[in-house]
A = this chain, B = another copy of it.
Amino acid sequence: METKIGEIEGGTVTSARGFHAGATAAGIRKPDDSRLDLGILFSEEPCVVAGVLTTNRVQSAPVVLCRERLEAGHASAIVACSGCANASTGRQGLSDAAEMASLTADGLGIDADEVLVASTGVIGPRLPIERVRDGLRHISLSDVGGHELARAIMTTDTRPKEFAVTVEAGETSFTIGGIAKGSGMIHPNMATLLAFLATDAAVEGGFLSLALKEAANVSFNMVSVDGDTSPSDTLLVLANGIAGNAVIDGGSDIAGAFEEALQRVCVHLARAIARDGEGATKLIEVTVSGAVNLADACLAARTVVASPLLKSAVYGCDPNWGRVVAALGRSGAAVEETSLDIAIGETTVLKSGAPQPFDEAAVVDQLKRDDVSISANLNLGEASATAWGCDLTEEYVVVNSQYTT
């Protein structure tokens, strides 16, 4: 079947039909803070939902609540705040998260268990539930409100992350939109901090869950900012079926198109998170090919992109390719030194394990770009993977040495 996936200019999570969002400055951080920090995503029709949650052994109260409610497989809304993670807050935190959901449900006229909750920010402090209560009264929802919600979930992010695509597959046409936030405690093998996706397609729950996991594996799970992972990582997708298509499941003609579109949204948001990593000045894309299997390719790519030494070298535009070799070697992936090729941008610097003479000025120029690509061919097999990260700068340290105080 012919399918066409097109990017929606200015697209966001409310680009999918029937989704409304809004946000307010509730003063979660401090009463007088004027940043948007509390928001709602709401579907006018009940949704099939799926999620990928943190694998950290310590889980925030909202994650615990989402894990329970995702089992039901349906929901209509997400309420999210930034400035307080509501993590490491014990029983009080669980009751605060539940209250945040109930207050939202009351305002929307739906059942409390139809509301998912997400919070991001400092770990430890109690959620200021009175400010949440007041704030919720001031949120008005609209079908362009995704932009506000994308801002409301930002912590150290310098810009919102939003994206949407339309899919035309045979007779069917639907939209998938999404928003996400970074930008610290970001590391492969976890869903990233917060990402909410919405589609108007009708999708079967089991298939939606599987498609989301696959999309996370090639997108959010391939991003690293700093090797730290969070107790709040939450990736959610809501599908409200307003597009009126025949319900998509694993056997549908358009299952592949749906998966591809979902991955495209996730990869776009994941790259945006990497590019906006704390203190980052550029995006680093590492592609490893020729691995003996996919797990090795992922491991190798993620290890290179997460190496603080490589990240520092890229920041300084230093063509120190030996750090790529060192990271590949320690990654745990099968690596044979004498088979290894490495390129920075289009310039090969190592071929079959032998250093190649190269034009240093040209490579430095490539390292000066906003997008730096590094590729390694292990020449041992057929598998390949791409990971994204960012450079390590003085600003990362500045941001993170003064976060709570």
Contact = CB atoms under 8 A, between A and B. Distances in A.
A354 B328 CA distance: 41
Interface string A46-84: 000000000111110000000000000000000000000
A312 B124 contact: no
B330 A404 contact: no
B228 A404 contact: no
Contact of A322 (B123, B317, B326): B123
A223 to B, nearest CB: 15
A90 B353 contact: yes
A14 interface: no
Assembly stoichiometry (copies): 2
A338 B308 contact: no
Interface stretch (A172-180, A260-268, A393-401): A393-401
- Which 5 pairs of residues, A with B, have the shortest CB-CB distance? A316-B401, A123-B322, A58-B329, A312-B400, A394-B394
Given A58-B329, A231-B325, 20 more contacts: A57-B329, A58-B326, A58-B335, A89-B355, A90-B337, A123-B322, A123-B323, A126-B355, A227-B306, A228-B308, A228-B330, A229-B326, A229-B330, A308-B400, A313-B403, A315-B401, A316-B401, A319-B405, A394-B394, A397-B397
Interface of A: 55-59, 85, 87-90, 122-126, 184-185, 190, 226-231, 306-309, 312-313, 315-323, 325-331, 333-335, 337-338, 350, 353-355, 364, 392-394, 396-405
